[in-house]
Amino acid sequence: MHRFFIYLSYDGENYHGWQLQPNAVTVQQRLQESLSILLRCPTSVVGAGRTDAGVHAKLMVAHFNSESEIDSGLLAHKLNQILPPDIAIFKIREVTLDAHARFSARSRTYKYYISTAKQPFYRQYAWRNYFPLNYELMNEAAKILFEYDDFTSFARLHTDVKTNICHMMQAHWERSTEDGTLWIFTIQADRFLRNMVRAIVGTLVEVGREKLSLDGFRRIIEQKDRCKAGGSAPGYALFLEDIEYNDDLFIK
């Protein structure tokens, strides 16, 4: 048996997220169908995580098993030929049999985009904000995230996860150097809960609008109640940016 990591990106606009669903088209479904055709046997893939409906991935990683050896470069090329244009394969690498796309990941990085002006080319990939935001205050609030590891207040309710503990590595806003009308929120952690990034962004925007104080933001985290936090920011402006693994997982 051989195990492979497959590196891909996708535009999430036409998909109901990554995860397989019975009555909706998902990225995982499209990838599994294409792999099964090329490998001539039913092939399932396991992703590094879930992205919600409309959310994009500049880099997603998934693993699959094969009983035979595979020409990774040729398979990647053939996948790109039959997959729709909004899903692209970067590379396929063989890994150890105990390597797991989800559980072996050291960290994940997301970016969220907010546009402060009407920009035709951002309309599908950045949240147009019509209110002036205090990004300095939003960055002060983002620093508070490092004081905690239980993010129940930003987690989707009634999920099957066993713990809401996450360890934060990055969380900050910065203005794009290429376009002064675009602000980018970068957040990195060892793991994320469902809807967590969008809930954090939505709550930080409340801070930026000065409708929520820094102490109020801290109290929301401490209350561990999703109903106390702000609404979820739109999914179309969220990108899964990067996933990191230890080098010893890779065979070649």
Which sequence positions are flagged as catalytic?
A: 52
Cβ pair 191, 108 in contact under 8 A: yes
Full DSSP string of 92-127: EEEE-TT--TTTT--EEEEEEEEESS--GGGTTTSE
Two tokens at 129? 């904000």
- 57 CB contacts (<8 Å, ≥6 apart)? 8, 9, 10, 12, 18, 27, 51, 239, 240
Query: What span, in angstroms and rounded, lies between the C-alpha atoms of 99 and 245?
Result: 9
Overall residue count recorded for the chain in this entry: 252
- 222 CB contacts (<8 Å, ≥6 apart)? 148
Query: What span, in angstroms and rounded, lies between the C-alpha atoms of 22 and 16?
Result: 11
Crossing angle (nearest 10°) for helices 196-208 and 214-223:
150
Looking from the CA of 172 toward its CB, the CA atoms found within 13 Å total: 5
